[in-house]
Structure 1
């Protein structure tokens, strides 16, 4: 370390600290534990160039912390003078402001211009010299741990400049959780060279402003924006011109006084607004640390560095997939533990329960009603509140699926919150907006059994405090494996707007000016987010077990076959990567099987000819959830394998042609990332992979592919892969068969949806399909909508669906994938127009 110090600056080790400074440093040392960010800041600096450090606030404790951090990192000491330059300044550091007072922390600006002026004059006098200006942000008590005391939360780092006594208490209570953030250095020589003859005094002021803005950005990224009291935010909302206009309109429409309408708007704002509290957030982190350790075996997080790089200076909107009530707690907890500010979270008003609601509100939750219809004033107040948050740079989090997925698939996005966020940005584009997709993967769900009930037609249980307390007792008796949080590729709003509407900057608040392109931007943004969530999937042992076991006829498989199929699945993911952000379990196939047994997902049945692994009953239904989490990763392989279910030989051109035909529907259902040409290229790569593995043989210079005999291992492995996606193809055939059987201009879209749901439910009973999602109405609704978008079907003047005769030919293509027996069974049980009821029974109305 000393060698590095001398390498960076020959005079680094020559410090001139007074005896009392060294004594205080030794006294304070047991109370301090420093976390450097980055861990090796020496890599940021240029060797042999003098360093001058800039800290945000002057204080003895900050100087002690900076000196120790530099010493431990092998950096030049801030206490040593900058040798070789004619400077009166005795230390290689200065501060932008000073603390005054022992209790209240009154602050007056300490003008840094004198120190900067000296440095610039010295560099002007010696043209060959340079100085690296290194901003260093110091935060005491930022990252709590389980051993920290409850009292220490009151003295955590925030935006308030405290006095020396409070700072001393903060050091004693929270000093072991101190973060020292080193920013990349600024070359003063480069600043002077780029100044272009600018007056030195003006240049000094400019550098000072840039440094202050930099420290504000870093503090906002680490601690959170400087939020006023909740009532101040509410007052800003109520004083905004759109809200005042809406209040006046409500008063006129309902013939009530303006004061009464204003009070109603105030009630709405108070119902919505968060009441963010740093001490509550820190306190919650203690409770959650204990809670997660009781529930989970660990929480893994990947690709956080990309978020760290973009967060400063951006309005960050987190858009996770929604699998469980634990999603937002886990994400906020992990962000806080990683030194990133906790976002404000949009929560359904159903969670605003007694006791729980106020805690969530102080943790950053703001509440919204399920529907804004019929309440124009509420809608305007909510839009304005969101706009205030965006304008203030408050990070946000919301779920664009609109609710938790009961099937494990991503749900079709709802664009309401996205539209409000984009409108807020267009109104005041102060800082660029970036949407951060987040994938959350589980190995067991708290809500698993309730999801089965809801998909089978049982009503959703209403949230209540009593129900929560009862549920906690049950939760704490079980273990839920590991959780993984993966950050997907961010979606930047400005480039998307530039591509869709280059004139967007001129639109401003003119709604009419953006009517043509705004809805398309929201749809494109929502689709991009969902695609990027899926491109950050985590493949855990339970996902792989579910994928294989649920593709067997009786959810049972010989151990040797299971191990071989697991190895094939991992090889497929590794050799044909879906995305560079997908993470895959490092466990071997044998370890995966053993883990599944420990978690209780599968059961071993001993047999003299070899053990059999099975999953039964509700466990099999629950496993379908975890299969669906990663089904998109195997979509291309499942399609290629499905082409060889009923065909021993197929031409490559036929596989690709049919792939183009089915891909738009798979893409819409699974949020796949390719266009049609990209999917065809993926098909070719998969054919090559299967050929290399011996599952297929190619002939005719790769124009024709052939599988082995049906009783062989290769054919068995292909069947297992194909069956993972077979139910999707069956649903598509049910919809097309219902249209063809009933004839054109007979069924409306709603009637077709009901017919499909009934047929799927009946088929599931006859063929023992243990997956309530098979007759999920939302999946049929999405398929029918895609048929309309592709102009395969269209409504007539009476709202009935019409189609061209070619649709029957499309139905005939199903023989490639589906067996004759299954096709005949679907045609037999699909009701005609005279037999189709208006609504399926409750048990058939599974869905999200």
Structure 2
């Protein structure tokens, strides 16, 4: 190891690293591989200010690792005294912990604050001098790689203060995975200026305390919080005042002894609680590294640096979209291998299988029942467990959709876990800052694809079992392409509460403040919008949007290339969000990749090849189309307006856009308000005019499309199809409701009739889109009609409406063809004669006159 020197004073010999440390350093350097964070620590330093490094613990290995990291980064040496400071220190670093000598001598034991006190005293004598303190965290054995051995996980970094022998083993087994994190320097002079009126001893203690807290936060972010034994957490939950009240109530209500009620509460807590093990987490990480390499062609992660910057000092709640059981493992593995502790994950109790459940529990999973509204004691225990995790600063992960999406769309959120987190936040007097981190996960193929289709088609959901898990192993032989994990814009809880209820702190102590429900709903919507804004557009998404828009899911290669180019240009010129990512493949490469993944098939023909997706593959592709449906909402809506119209005034387009936006916004979690949506419409129209898809008249007030047989009309028809089925569902709802009349059916009955009508329409027209008759989509549209006061519930619980509903039906004629409207009206179920009362409005008119 070369000598590291600092700028010597004139006439003096440059200080040198002692030969013993140089020798040990050479031996260690041959084995240690350092991963610095940030990649260029030198950029953090204050220019011209002497550097003193601060570490968490003393130790020869830590000193040598710090010296190697400084040399590799071009930083001043840590093993020689700082320049221009005449202190007794022989090194340029100190630790915040007590030094442990090999031969214990009470006379030589100095308090950990002494080096800091000496520096403060020196600066008091030199008013113009300064020192920058650079906190440095060192972790040996942080991230496994493919060369890691199983034995090495036992000696990875954790919270335990280990002895010299264990440290040596850790260096031997994990030294090539050494993580050194340099933090932002602190000017000691600036701190002394701020504390100039305080005694020196108090200032030294305060700086030392802040440094220790900093190292604790960094360690918690990198390897996880210092969790007590699971039994301690369970006892804290059961003995909490809120749980004790329900224990007493349950004992009285069910005529139980208090001991039996306490035992039941304890059993609930044991059933719920995770049993986090650093060793198991590291072992799983090692195993999953091999698993991902065999299952996928690669895992891409975007916008992670922002997560790393936010995590220290916050309780992070990861809220991914939920599309596969793989989601649980993938997010935790990515966080762990990139230097952030994996969160505790709320998992359905159906995953608490023999063998698998205990492993998941030790990996951080805590289990919850699907519904526990009827069990007040269980609800109290679960709420208290979430509060305990928050109080201890444990990051969490849960899926606010409530279950995996079977359609590929984001589901309407179930806000139970959000409400529990908000309650935990409000009840603490010293509130830890909370940030919700949305995560978009994009696949190119799903292991559960076939089962999703079956469930949407009416088959019963198969219960998870160990035998079913073993049977699924054969699916590992298939190819699943690449996976993208995009971290969206974080949602800070403090900021959201300030927007929704500026005076929330005044009523935070109340059981349920009036703004509570509103804030939870706003939080859920913000998370879903942020997930959608971070979408990844992969080749399979684009192929699905294009091919599924044609009657036989087939397209000439030249037309497909043109359509793919239109989609890519649209998303590139008008990006949906700053964190959206788009495949760099060209249209030709996208087609070749789709063939390679066996999503599409090429049919050779002398006049030009045709690309097609057939049978079950076409149905499965609808899932990946729905992943990105929201990205094309604006352009598809404009295209829909020109399916049956050659010309349309801009004013008419904007009027219809204002009318339809609340419904598609609710269904697709679009990010704009009404004004923002209209601006987006104008920008998209301008894009279409630049591409020659739409043409303005002389004064620009009327828009025209080309002839029905032209390329421009074909591109619009293809683009419109992605949103057309939504309007067909809307029309089904209105047709069924008007056909039955007011005061005849309830919301639940309307949902059922709409679902049956859509199923029948699918059978008759061979629509390969199982999500077309998804009950949740009808439920969401009916809810929007009620919120907009288009329909309402009477005293008997039946739906009422007036003639204004016919106006909505009339506007549908602009979008839907006469054939589709007539087909829906014919298929809509007839009401019972007895239910039809006087004054029932007529069914929607089927005239083709434009609105």
Fold in common (TM above 0.5): yes
Mark the CA change 1:646 to 1:8 in structure 2 (over 3 Å): closer, same or farther: farther
SS in 2 for 1:31: coil
Quick check: 738-747 or 709-718, which moved more? 738-747
2:231 matched residue in structure 1: 231
1:629 matched residue in structure 2: 627
1:725 matched residue in structure 2: 723
Q: Work out whether 1:445 is the aligned partner of 2:424.
A: no
Q: Work out whether 1:248 is the aligned partner of 2:248.
A: yes
SS in 1 for 2:550: coil
Kept after mapping to 2: 8 A contact 1:8/1:76: no
Q: 1:813 aligns with which of 811, 825, 828?
A: 811
Deviation per residue, 1:282-331 (Å, 9 max, x gap)? 11112111111111000000000111111000000000000000001000
Kept after mapping to 1: 8 A contact 2:54/2:134: yes
CA distance in 2, matches of 1:543, 1:296: 17
Kept after mapping to 2: 8 A contact 1:5/1:13: no
Mark the CA change 1:43 to 1:732 in structure 2 (over 3 Å): closer, same or farther: same
Offset, 1:767: 1.7
1:842 matched residue in structure 2: none
1:435 matched residue in structure 2: 436
2:299 matched residue in structure 1: 299
CA distance in 2, matches of 1:625, 1:830: 27
Deviation per residue, 1:141-168 (Å, 9 max, x gap)? 1111121111111111111111111111
1:517 matched residue in structure 2: 515
CA distance in 2, matches of 1:396, 1:577: 31
Mark the CA change 1:102 to 1:316 in structure 2 (over 3 Å): closer, same or farther: farther
1:318-467 alignment to 2 at 5 Å? 318-428=318-428, 429-467=430-468
Query: Unaligned stretches of 5+ in structure 1?
Result: 838-848
1:504-653 alignment to 2 at 5 Å? 504-512=504-512, 514=513, 516-653=514-651
Deviation per residue, 1:32-57 (Å, 9 max, x gap)? 11110001100001222110000000
CA distance in 2, matches of 1:772, 1:415: 26
Instruction: Give me the CA root mean square deviation.
Output: 2.2
CA distance in 2, matches of 1:677, 1:811: 24
1:192-341 alignment to 2 at 5 Å? 192-341=192-341
1:843 matched residue in structure 2: none
Mark the CA change 1:15 to 1:533 in structure 2 (over 3 Å): closer, same or farther: farther
Q: Work out whether 1:687 is the aligned partner of 2:688.
A: no
Kept after mapping to 2: 8 A contact 1:792/1:803: yes
CA distance in 1, matches of 2:259, 2:633: 59
Query: Unaligned stretches of 5+ in structure 2?
Result: 836-851
Deviation per residue, 1:424-482 (Å, 9 max, x gap)? 0101143111100000000000000000100000101111111101111x222101000
CA distance in 2, matches of 1:724, 1:440: 21
SS in 2 for 1:724: helix
SS in 1 for 2:497: helix
Kept after mapping to 2: 8 A contact 1:276/1:362: yes
Offset, 1:111: 2.8
CA distance in 2, matches of 1:318, 1:10: 56
CA distance in 1, matches of 2:575, 2:2: 45
Quick check: 579-588 or 43-52, which moved more? 43-52
Offset, 1:17: 2.0
Kept after mapping to 1: 8 A contact 2:141/2:156: yes
2:695 matched residue in structure 1: 697
Kept after mapping to 2: 8 A contact 1:79/1:91: yes
CA distance in 2, matches of 1:18, 1:753: 81
SS in 2 for 1:79: coil
Mark the CA change 1:705 to 1:470 in structure 2 (over 3 Å): closer, same or farther: same
CA distance in 1, matches of 2:57, 2:218: 14
Offset, 1:110: 5.8
Kept after mapping to 2: 8 A contact 1:268/1:381: yes
Kept after mapping to 1: 8 A contact 2:729/2:772: yes
Offset, 1:6: 6.8
Quick check: 133-142 or 108-117, which moved more? 108-117
Offset, 1:81: 1.2
Kept after mapping to 1: 8 A contact 2:87/2:122: yes
Quick check: 2-11 or 695-704, which moved more? 2-11
Offset, 1:413: 0.1
Please, what TM-score do these two structures have when normalized by structure 1? Answer: 0.96
CA distance in 1, matches of 2:414, 2:9: 57
Kept after mapping to 2: 8 A contact 1:10/1:48: no
Offset, 1:99: 5.7
Kept after mapping to 1: 8 A contact 2:444/2:624: yes
SS in 2 for 1:144: coil
CA distance in 2, matches of 1:116, 1:97: 12
Mark the CA change 1:803 to 1:613 in structure 2 (over 3 Å): closer, same or farther: same
SS in 2 for 1:98: coil
Aligned length: 832
1:477-516 alignment to 2 at 5 Å? 477-512=477-512, 514=513, 516=514
Offset, 1:112: 3.4
CA distance in 1, matches of 2:333, 2:206: 38
CA distance in 1, matches of 2:743, 2:646: 39
Offset, 1:7: 9.2
CA distance in 2, matches of 1:11, 1:231: 65
Kept after mapping to 1: 8 A contact 2:318/2:437: yes
CA distance in 1, matches of 2:618, 2:269: 46
1:21-36 alignment to 2 at 5 Å? 21-36=21-36
